[in-house]
Structure 1
Amino acid sequence: MGGLTTLGVACGPVAPTSTASAAPPKRPDPFRLGVASGDPRPDGMVLWTRLAPRPLAEDGLGGMGRAPVEVRWQLASDARFRHIVRQGTATARPSGGFAVHVEPSGLEPGREYFYRFRAQGHLSPTGRTRTAPARGALTPMTFAAASCSHYEHGYFTAYRRMAAQDPDLVLHLGDYLYEYAPGSYSGTNGVVRRHTEGKCQTLTDYRRRHAQYKSDPDLRAAHAAAPWAVIWDDHELEDNWTGSTPGSKVPGFSARKKAAMRAYYENMPLRASSRPSGTKLQLFRGLSWGALASFHLLDTRQYRTDQPCDDWMRTGCDSRTDPSHRVLGARQLKWLESGLRASGARWDVLAQQIFLARRDYALGPAVEVGMDSWDGYAAERDRLFDAVLRSGARNPVVLTGDVHTAYASDLLRDFDDPASARVGVELVATSIASDGDGYRDRSVNAVLLQENPHFALMDQRRGYIIGRLTSESLTADFHTLEYVSRRGAPARRTARFVVPDGARSLAR
């Protein structure tokens, strides 16, 4: 990809100088965290970078000091920047972690663009992005879905393989990073590389952890390849938190929440409308892709009541059917149903975090389910399914992360009745690296597939989903890597499912 030339600056002859008056040494490269773009619209998108010549500097400011820095940006219609369509300056400030969020507008719909930044005598890598198609367009698209990238459990090769598929949009479904202290949570192959010291608790901790993750070249390559639409899960703050309930017994949850939200915004290509205020972060939002698709990004952490039965997987947890227990909360559910009704798109894609279909681990009549999933909130799931059915959405598709295993499933209005109404389909992206190399236990999978006949796939290896949407069908390809404990694993397609327009069910 082009774009490594300097920004055009007219210069005349330079007179010889003495050693004493020579220019000071060039500052170190501040673009070591790369570039990113996100939340595309028909007339624009977000462009992002964060200055950090020393990404893991102990103060969390990447070695930038305390003075604001002017950053120049350019957006072009070609990779060599011969045709610049927008440019300007932005100020990177220490109060914002030296992050820059630019929102160019007035662009042409359905177009590919290239962007870059310049600061302190250095030019950033070039990123590729695009605008969404015009309203009414049924332009085919390719999206990628990914989740769960634990730095200590393996290398992020899957991100690079995903980027090589040239997606138009990447949907990241949460657990972009993990807050754990070094070595406190080992994957199937142990600790491959080490986290920064300590469990994340302060703004500095979260900033440094984000910087450590973006120091990975494969993650940077994936960000530079396409615009992303991001939504968080729990580990961007701490394991299993919900609403105002911490996931640990460590005091100071409100302060941790505020710090994690601020660092998340600083390090993601989010619009200013998602800038956090205290302990509130507006993340649920919609993106339109012409008349082909509407993407509804959901937040299943911030408005959720605490998990029933102490978060454990179990049988006989009566409170999991309590109608007062919420996942989305009333306001977000109302927003979603309204968005589905107004969409008119051929495909409505719900991007969310926790497992939606029933996942019963007990053979026979007993039901054993996990509480940190929609199974722990059965009444709220019923409300969601009813809202989807009432909305008249033509082709509902749910994208899910969290569980470090790939699944493909039909969503039934009543999972005890195979003949009940089809609500849509759920595609669950396995992890990028979390839990290490993974495995595929065919005997265990066969039992679970028997107990859950709505499942069509279960695969515990690492990887991602590539979805291709047309006006006639959704094709979902599951790509897996055999290992992440060392670099360079190839990715191969190990499963494919097709959902024809109007079917609301996987073609098997």
Structure 2
Amino acid sequence: MKVQALVAVGALSLASCATQDGGSVFPNLFEPAPTSAVEALNRYYEDFPESQLPKAPEGLPLPASDAVISRVLVASCNDEELESPTLARLAEEDADLFLMIGDNVYGDRDGRNYAINDVELTELRESFSDLKDRPEFQAVRAKFPMMVAWDDHDMGQNDGGKDFPFKALAERVHETFWGLTDEDVGQWPGTYYARAFGPEGKRVQVIVLDTRFFRSELTPTDEYGAVGKERYMPPPAGAYQDMLGSAQWTWLQNQLQAPADIRLVVSSIQVMPTTHGWEAWSTMPEERQRLFDMIKKTGADGVVFLSGDRHTGFIYEERGVLPYAANELTASSLNVSFATETSERDTRQIGAGFPPENYGAVEIDWDAKKISLVLKDTNGQTARRNDIAFSEIGVD
């Protein structure tokens, strides 16, 4: 039975409940009764007490809009219940910005978020509370300005998408923790946002996508565990699926038309590879092509994709899908490594995948007119690297 059905009766019953602070869930007695479980939940979540939502230690402000950005750190997949020497090592780096791009906590490990009796996402909130107390995390908050994306485990449902019934509260947890409630992203459904830094000729735009809140249900594999079909596969011909939702697609089109020289497009799941059956844009080929076509149509030069999720680091490069070489850096994971080697090989890969704990760096040399995508191991040593001339990604 789907989660939505499981929670329907309990969610509607919230109409007569009280919040933890003793306030009425629906304080306006003349407001019409909710017509669905989702509406009931969302009304309840609007009044969920902020005092019950954990907040990260206060971080540094983002760089000024005219600040030149030359080094950006990237990381994902951090289990807040475990020590993270790799995150501690990352905190010793020098950088202008740190992007924490998904599975920043694992808030669904106990499975309670699938149950009707955890509509308040107890485990997820506990996970963020644990993260804020981690000394490694406190070190990076004190060291770097940060931008963040979420993925399934910090939304609260493994491989979850738009049908996750508790996503409205999960969004509040995310935006409250990261101090985004009063930002533009806090004013619309979903967690996508963008910022730009630097003057004309040295402008870096960071576009953080939300590949969860609006994403359609994935197509299950017909051969579980088979190489290339591990969990999911593309849908049958003619099936409709959506990765970003109409509002976010429109927003992205506008962002791609904004002036920028280098555009770091953050997707919590991988964009370019097509040879595996784990979550990725390749499970929705038409949406993947829609992304490439939008970049072409808007004339957006300098796009580089950044992703996480895979518990293995990868660097990719491919020609032909964009007007210039398409490049992607997958940095994963900080402290949830499952192997030391991988046989996975995509024709787009630059070198072998790197499964040990890792983080990434985007190094921009404005004088030499090149950008480097770097994977670093837990000791801060370079494990993989791809140096790219600006001219290869359409930048003068």
Fold agreement, TM-score > 0.5 = yes
> CA 1:317 to 1:298, structure 2 compared with 1: closer, same or farther past 3 Å?
closer
The aligned counterpart of 1:97 is 51
Query: In 2 relative to 1, CA 140–274 (structure 1 residues): closer, same or farther, beyond 3 Å?
Result: closer
1:215-226 pair list within 5 angstroms:
215-226=133-144
Superposed displacement of residue 320, structure 1: 5.7
CA contact (8 A) 1:214 1:220 kept: yes
The correspondence of residues 329-368 of structure 1 with structure 2, limited to 5 A, is: 329-342=245-258, 344-360=259-275
How many Å separate the matches in 2 of 1:285 and 1:379? Answer: 23
1:266, distance to aligned residue in structure 2 (A)? 2.2
Aligned to 1:432, the other structure's residue is in SS state coil
* Contact map agreement 2:185 2:192 (CA 8 A) in 1: no
Higher-strand-fraction structure: 1
Report the Cα distance in structure 2 between the residues aligned to 1:330 and 1:423, rounded to whole angstroms. 27
What pairs with 1:360-399 in structure 2 (closer than 5 Å)? 360=275, 369-370=276-277, 372-399=279-306
The Cα of 1:140 is off from its aligned counterpart by: 4.0
Q: Name the structure 2 match of 1:84.
A: none
Quickly say closer, same or farther: Cα 1:289–1:407, change in 2 above 3 A: same
Q: Partner residue of 2:389?
A: 500
Aligned to 2:359: 464
Q: How far has the Cα of 1:207 moved from its partner?
A: 2.2
Q: Would you tell me which structure has more helix in proportion to its own residues?
A: 2
CA–CA distance in structure 2, aligned partners of residues 348 and 412 of structure 1:
17
| Code of the aligned partner of 2:364 | L
SS in 1 for 2:392: coil
**Residue 202 and residue 271 in structure 1: after superposition, are their counterparts in 2 closer, same or farther (change >3 A)?**
closer
- Secondary structure at the aligned position of 1:503 is classed as helix
Indicate which of 332, 335, 340 corresponds to 1:439: 340
Provide the rounded CA distance (Å) in 2 between the counterparts of 1:98 and 1:274.
23
State the distance in 2 between where 1:163 and 1:341 align. 34
| Structure 1 residues 97 and 306, CA gap change in structure 2 (3 angstroms) | same
AA partner of residue 158 (structure 2): D
Matched, 1:265 2:197: no
Alignment partner of 2:106 out of 164, 169, 178: 178
Matched, 1:480 2:377: yes
- Distance in 2 of aligned mates of 1:299 and 1:320: 24
Partner AA of 2:372 in structure 1: T
Q: Percent identity?
A: 22
Superposed counterparts of 1:19-58, under 5 Å: none
Corresponding residue SS for 2:393: coil
Q: Deviations over 1:342-384 (max 9, x none)?
A: 2x21101101111111331xxxxxxxx3252111100111110
Q: Residue 185 of structure 2 contacts residue 193 of structure 2 at CA under 8 Å; is this kept in 1?
A: no
Distance 1:460 1:228 in 2: 25
Instruction: Give the structure-2-normalised TM-score.
Output: 0.75
Q: Is the 8 A contact 2:69 2:197 kept in 1?
A: no
Measure, in 1, the Cα distance between the counterparts of 2:269 and 2:62: 29
Residues 1:346 and 1:176: Cα distance change in structure 2 (over 3 Å): same
The residue number in structure 1 matching 2:310 is: 403
Q: Distance in 2 between matches of 1:96 and 1:331?
A: 27
Q: Please list, as runs of the form range in 1=range in 2, the aligned pairs for 1:204-223 lying within 5 A after superposition.
A: 204-223=122-141
- Distance in 1, matches of 2:58 and 2:122, equals 28
SS of alignment partner, residue 502 of structure 1? helix
Question: Residues 408 and 426 of structure 1 are in contact (CA less than 8 Å); yes or no, is this contact kept in structure 2?
Answer: yes
1:151 is aligned to 80
**Which of these two proteins has the greater Rg computed from alpha carbons?**
1
Question: Is the alpha carbon distance of 1:283 and 1:128 closer, same or farther for their aligned partners in structure 2, counting shifts above 3 Å?
Answer: closer
Equivalent residue for 1:424, pick from 318, 326, 334: 326
3-state SS in 1 of match to 2:391: coil
Gaps of 5+ in 1: 1-60, 67-93, 102-123, 185-198, 247-253, 361-368, 415-419, 482-489
Query: Structure 1-normalised TM-score?
Result: 0.59
Kindly state the Cα deviation for residue 304 of structure 1 after the two structures are TM-superposed. Answer: 1.0
Amino acid at match of 2:313: A
After TM superposition, give the deviation of residue 162 of structure 1 in Å.
1.3
User: Counterparts of 1:504 and 1:213 in 2: how far apart (Å)?
Assistant: 37
Shift of 1:273: 3.5
Residue segments in structure 2 that go unaligned for 5+ positions in a row: 1-19, 23-47, 112-116
Structure-1 separation of matches of 2:236 and 2:357: 30
Tell me which residue corresponds to 1:455. Answer: 349
**1:284-334 residue CA offsets vs partner (Å, 9 max, x unmatched):** 111001232111110011111100135965299562664621111232222
The alignment status of 1:301 with 2:301, answered yes or no, reads no
Distance 2:208 2:236 in 1: 24
> Helix, strand or coil: the match of 1:433?
coil
Partners of 2:319 and 2:325 within 8 A in 1:
yes
CA displacement at 1:478 relative to structure 2 = 1.1
- Aligned partners of 1:467 and 1:475 also within 8 Å: yes
Q: Name the CA shift for 1:263/1:274 in 2 (closer, same or farther; >3 Å).
A: farther
Distance 2:63 2:72 in 1: 14
Aligned ranges 1:44-123 → 2 under 5 Å: 95-97=49-51
The CA deviation at 1:496 is: 2.0
Aligned equivalents of 1:429 and 1:347: distance in 2?
Answer: 19
Aligned-residue CA RMSD in angstroms? 3.2
On the 8 A contact 1:466/1:477 being kept in 2, the answer is: yes
Asked whether the 8 Å contact 1:285–1:297 carries over to 2, the reply is yes
After superposition, give the CA deviation of every residue in 1:128-176 in whole Å (9 maximum; x if it has no partner): 5453242xx6x24211111111234x42122221121122111111111
Matches of 1:132 and 1:223, distance apart in 2: 18
Aligned residue-pair number: 334
Instruction: Work out whether residues 84 and 136 of structure 2, in 8 Å CA contact, stay in contact via their aligned partners in 1.
Output: yes
Once the two structures are TM-superposed, the CA of residue 393 in structure 1 deviates from its matched residue by: 1.8
Q: Check conservation: 1:140, 1:470, Cα contact below 8 A.
A: no
Equivalent residue number for residue 33 of structure 1: none
